[in-house]
Structure formats: C-alpha cells, structure tokens
C-alpha cells in the first residue's frame, strides 16, 4: 500500500502537551511555596499557645505569691516633715500645708535571703525568706538648703516612713532605733498627696512578656504600701542635731526578687543568698559579686551623684518620686532556664526547617524521577509543625533540652518512615531524615548561643544556599 505524497511531506504532529505538563516543575515549586505560606497559620497558632501557657504559668505564680508574698522593693526610712507655705493668689494670702521627705545621709543594707522552690501543678515558683538590717543616719543640715523657714515646720507631726511592696511578707514586728529611742512601726503611710504610682511606667507601656527578666516591677510605686511611725517629743528635740543615727531590723518574705531604693546620699548594700542563679537588675549593677554553686554574694555602692534626685523631695512631686522608683537595684531569683522563651525562639526558625525540608524532598523527587503529590508535602509540613506543639508540652514537664531531643527524634522518625514509603526507597527516606536531624541540631545550637547566634546562623545558611544553587542548575523549569 502506498503512502500518500502529502502524508510524507507533512507527517502528523504528536499531540501538544498541556501547559501544566510542560512546566510541571515550575508548577510544583509554586504549589510547594503556597503550601509553605499556609503552614504559617498553624505556626502562628502554636506561637499564641506558647504565650497562653506563659500567662497560665504567671497566673500560677501570682496565686502562690499572693499568699506568700510578692516581689519586694524596700524604700527607706525617710523622715516626713510637714510645713506650711504662704501662697498669694489674686491678692489673697493663704497657708498651704505640704510635706517634705528628708532622705538619709548614709544608708547601709545587709540582707541574707534563703530561697526555696514551691510547686503549683507543673509550675515552679521561687520564694525566699530574708533578714535585713538597715542602718545609717540623717543629716538635718539638708533642711537648710530647702529655703523653708524653720518656724513653718510642724515638728510635732514629724513621721518616719518606709516603703515595702507587700506587707504580707513581714514575719515579725519592725522596730525603729532612732537616736536613743526605740519605736515600733505601724502599718500604712498616712501622708496626704504622696505620689504612690510610677509616673514613668504609665507613660511608657511595656507588655509583660517583653519586659526584661531582671527588671523590677515599679508600676505600683515605691510608697503604695509601707510602714510609718510618729516621732515623740524626745526625738523631736534631736531634730536640731546635725546627725541622727537609725537602724531597722526587718524579717521579710518575698518571691522572685528583692530590690532596694538607693535613697541615701551614700548607699551601700550587701546581699547574699543560697541561690546559685541570680539575675542582678534594676538601675545599678553590683560593684562586686561572687556566684558559686552554693549561692552568691553581691555588693553595691551608690552615691547621690549617680542618681537624678536630691536629699529632700516634696511628697507631691510626682517626677522626683518616680525617679526614686526607677533607681532601685537588686536581684531576681530566676530559674536557670526559661523554657517558654526557648520555645518562642525555636518557633522563629520553624519556617526555615519547613522550607529546607520541602527543598530536600523536591530535589529528590526531581533528580531521582520520583513522584510526591502536594498532599504528601502537606503531611510532612504538618508533622514539622506538630514538632513545636510536642516541644512545648514536653518542655513543661521535662525541661527544654530533653523535650527538644524527644520531639525531634519522634518527628524525624515519623518523616523517615513516611517518605521511605512514599518514595519506595529506604535510603532516600533515611537521607531526608538525616538532613532534617542536621537542621534540628543546627537550630538547637543557635538557641543555646547568645552573642554569636546571628553570625553562626548566617554562615551556615549561606553554605546551605550555595549547595541548593549548585544542584538547582540540574533543574529544567
């Protein structure tokens, strides 16, 4: 049978492949990219879950501290001297009563804190029992610098006040030794117009989860609660003396932190404890400190030139009182590891692990001529997301390090079995698992590092990108 001449001249063309088939690799890249973006949704939900669990822990901490005692900030003692001031308004003269705070010339604080751990469910809370000795002296010559006429001072109403953040922590009566007299403190600070809230903390709001771990909580002010004692006539007669010595013994319970306001013209403090992981914070760091497995010992020295307020302060001067609050220093008795902070840091690297795992699967699929459908990519992605949920739940019980090892092992093993079945090749599934294990180890090292995390991470990612660029030349998009 003869072939027609026109058939030889124009043989039939094979059917033209569809756009999807002709650009299947490009199409797969787009699908995998979209899938990666969709996985950001469950990752965001897990990040919210971490913050929710963190707030749950803080609620448990608040419940314990509300019964024991909260973070303690000790301010004082200060002498409150009432006086009258003549004001002229619209040709009318009137006498206005005001109060003046006289701060100590010298103040020395010696504190010994014994820390223990209390549990509430799966959460640990550090509480302490401390013994403090505050001693020093007042310099009455500072009153002459205020320009107030001594005749306008109401010396029969002079009081000594001391701010203590949580009065529930006081274990025994507090005795003030001033001059030659001893007087018991009474609860409360009955001073009118005394600013009790932190002016600075209201102007600048910092979310609780973004505050520094070592920062004291001054939102309620340093004189919101405290003690006072009214001086009798014998002590008032000593007001004319140049210097009046004082000493106070204080047995105080607290939790999380112990801070001191440096209100002395020269303030020295020596704080020791049996806690081996202190976090020194506030406005001043210790001049000297020694931390061992048995505890720590720290010394501070603050002079008036280091602060932004003087030795006399009007009680209605909100700015000066807030400056006093912001100058506190001390220590927090923190846990060695904050697993929630580490969980948050690990989630930040989640998109990197997901994307690189997808890239590995994609290269094996293309270079080995295997087929992995988008649904299988989705299952791998969900397994990688579930890792962070496992990490969070396990770290609350076992701690972060052990939880990370267990969660990474479970996730890697699951993906090895799944991909070995899909690719029908155990070696290729094992290769994906080994590369995933490398990524988990890499991220774990970054989480543990502080100063060089950015440098090491950038260098390793650069090397990974170089490898991907090398193998990408074999792809025909």
Q: What is the tens place of the pLDDT at every residue in 40-71?
A: 888 889 989 988 888 888 888 788 878 888 89
Q: What b/e sequence results for 46-75 when a residue is b if at least 16 CB atoms lie within 10 Å of its CB, and e otherwise?
A: bbebbeebbeebeebbeebbeebbbbbbbb
Query: Which residues of the chain register pLDDT less than 50?
Result: 16-23, 199-211
Q: Are residues 298 and 441 in the same domain?
A: no
Residue 279 parent element (H or E): strand 278-282
Q: How far apart are CA 215 and CA 224, in angstroms?
A: 19
pTM over 0.95: no
CB 282 within 8 A of CB 330: yes
**According to the model, what pLDDT value does residue 84 have?**
87
pLDDT above 90 as % of the chain: 31
Do residues 344 and 327 share a domain? no
Does 403 lie in the same domain as 344?
yes
Give residue 359's domain range.
19-51+340-472
Would you state the pLDDT for residue 135? Answer: 95
142 and 278 share one domain: yes
Q: How far is CA 308 from CA 86, 137, 304, in A?
A: 28, 21, 8
Q: Within 13 Å, how many C-alpha atoms sit on residue 45's CB side?
A: 8
Q: Which residues contact 72 (CB under 8 A, 6 or more apart)?
A: 130, 164, 165, 166, 169, 252, 254, 257, 258, 259
Q: Is residue 155 part of a domain?
A: yes
Burial class (CB in 10 A: 0-12, 13-18, 19+), 219: middle
Would residue 2 count as lying in a domain?
Answer: no
Please give the pLDDT value at position 201.
43
Domain boundary, last residue among 301, 336, 371: 336
Structure confidence at residue 4 (pLDDT): 60
Say whether both 465 and 447 belong to one domain. yes
Number of domains in the chain: 2
Do 351 and 227 lie in a common domain? no
Is 135 a domain residue?
yes
Please answer whether residues 43 and 350 qualify as being in contact, where contact means their C-beta atoms are separated by less than 8 angstroms.
Answer: yes
Among 286, 310, 336, the domain-final residue is 336
Give the separation between CA 394 and CA 371, rounded to whole angstroms: 35
Together in a domain, 349 and 314:
no
- pLDDT of the residue at 246: 93
Domain contains 477: no
According to DSSP, residue 277 is labeled S
In whole angstroms, give the CA distance from residue 108 to residue 72. 17
* Domain-terminating residue out of 296, 313, 336: 336
Asked if 97 and 84 touch (Cβ cutoff 8 Å), the reply is yes
Q: Are residues 445 and 403 in the same domain?
A: yes
| 3-class DSSP state of 114 | strand
Are 280 and 357 contained in the same domain?
Answer: no
Q: What is the pLDDT of residue 277?
A: 86
Task: Kindly state whether residue 40 falls inside one of the protein's structural domains.
Answer: yes
């Amino acid at each position: 049978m003869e072939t027609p001449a026109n058939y030889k001249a124009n043989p039939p063309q094979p059917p033209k492949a569809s756009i999807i088939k002709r650009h299947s690799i490009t199409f797969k890249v787009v699908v995998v990219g979209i899938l990666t973006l969709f996985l950001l949704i469950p990752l965001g939900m897990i990040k919210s879950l971490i913050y929710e669990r963190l707030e749950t822990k803080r609620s448990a901490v608040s419940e314990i501290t509300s019964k024991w005692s909260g973070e303690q900030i000790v301010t004082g003692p200060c002498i409150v001297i009432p006086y009258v001031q003549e004001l002229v308004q619209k040709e009318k003269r009137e006498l206005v009563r005001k109060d003046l705070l006289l701060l100590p010339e010298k103040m020395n604080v010696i504190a010994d804190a014994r820390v223990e751990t209390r549990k509430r469910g799966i959460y640990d809370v550090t509480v302490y029992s401390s013994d403090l000795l505050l001693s020093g002296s007042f310099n009455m010559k500072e009153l002459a610098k205020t320009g107030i006429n001594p005749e306008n001072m109401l010396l029969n109403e002079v009081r000594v006040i001391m701010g203590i953040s949580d009065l529930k922590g006081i274990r025994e009566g507090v005795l003030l030794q001033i001059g030659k007299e001893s007087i018991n403190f009474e609860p409360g600070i009955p001073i009118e117009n005394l600013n009790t809230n932190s002016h600075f903390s209201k102007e600048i709001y910092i979310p609780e989860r973004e505050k520094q771990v070592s920062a004291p909580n001054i939102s309620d002010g340093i004189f919101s609660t405290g003690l006072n004692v009214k001086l009798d006539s014998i002590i008032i007669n000593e007001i004319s003396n140049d210097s009046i010595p004082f000493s106070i013994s204080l047995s105080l319970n607290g939790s999380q932190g112990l801070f001191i306001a440096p209100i002395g013209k020269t303030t020295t403090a020596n704080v020791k404890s049996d806690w081996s992981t202190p976090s020194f914070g506030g406005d001043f760091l210790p001049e000297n400190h020694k931390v061992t497995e048995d505890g720590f010992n720290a010394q501070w020295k603050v002079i008036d030139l280091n602060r932004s307020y003087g030795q006399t302060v009007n009680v209605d001067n909100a700015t000066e009182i807030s400056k006093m609050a912001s100058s506190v220093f001390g220590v927090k008795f923190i846990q060695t590891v904050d697993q929630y902070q580490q969980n948050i840091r690990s989630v930040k690297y989640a998109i990197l692990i997901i994307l690189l795992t997808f890239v590995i699967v994609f290269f094996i699929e293309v270079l080995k001529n295997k087929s992995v459908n988008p649904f299988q990519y989705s299952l791998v992605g969900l397994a990688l997301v579930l890792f962070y949920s496992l990490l969070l739940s396990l770290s609350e019980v076992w701690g972060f390090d052990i939880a990370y090892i267990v969660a990474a092992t479970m996730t890697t093993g699951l993906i090895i079995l799944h991909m070995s079945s899909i690719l029908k090749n155990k070696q290729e599934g094992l290769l994906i698992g080994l590369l995933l294990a490398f990524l988990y180890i890499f991220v774990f090292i970054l989480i543990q590092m502080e100063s060089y995390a950015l440098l090491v991470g950038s260098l390793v990612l650069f090397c990974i990108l170089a490898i991907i660029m090398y193998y990408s030349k074999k792809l025909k998009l």
